[in-house]
Amino acid sequence: MARRTVAVARITDLQEGHARVFQVEDYRIALCRVGSRIYAIEDVCTHDDGPLGEGRLDGFSMECPRHGARFDIRDGRVLRMPAAFPVRTFPVQEKDGQVYVEIE
């Protein structure tokens, strides 16, 4: 499958320290704003398919609201069980106030 870059949101749509979920073609992606950086993770907890974007963002850690699994939004790695597998992350680009995410 070919990789492509898709416009998802305006930077002004995203609040510092919060996640916001967007449907991007076949993916539900949570955009997380930490400082001046935007990170994109799939909105699916690898423990039980819970909605990560509804969880709490604390620095670079996203906590699933269902069972408390935590993931690093920078690379998707598991920070706390019960999840055992990383969550998918997506490359992000910012240009002219627009946020773009690279998907397959």
pLDDT of residue 91: 98
pLDDT of residue 23: 97
Residue 51 burial (CB count, 10 A): 16
pLDDT digits (tens, 9 = 90+) for 40-89: 999 999 999 999 999 999 999 999 999 999 999 999 999 999 999 999 99
Mean pLDDT of the chain: 96
CA geometry: angle 17, 12, 75, nearest 5 deg: 45
**Domains, the chain, ranges and CATH?**
4-103 (2.102.10.10)
User: 59 vs 39, 64, 76, 89, CA distance in Å?
Assistant: 11, 14, 14, 16
> Rounded CA gap, 21 and 40, in Å?
9
**Reduced to 3 DSSP states, what percent helix, strand and coil does the chain have, rounded to the nearest 5?**
5, 50, 45
The pTM for the full model equals 0.94
With a cut of 80, say whether residue 16 has pLDDT above it.
Answer: yes
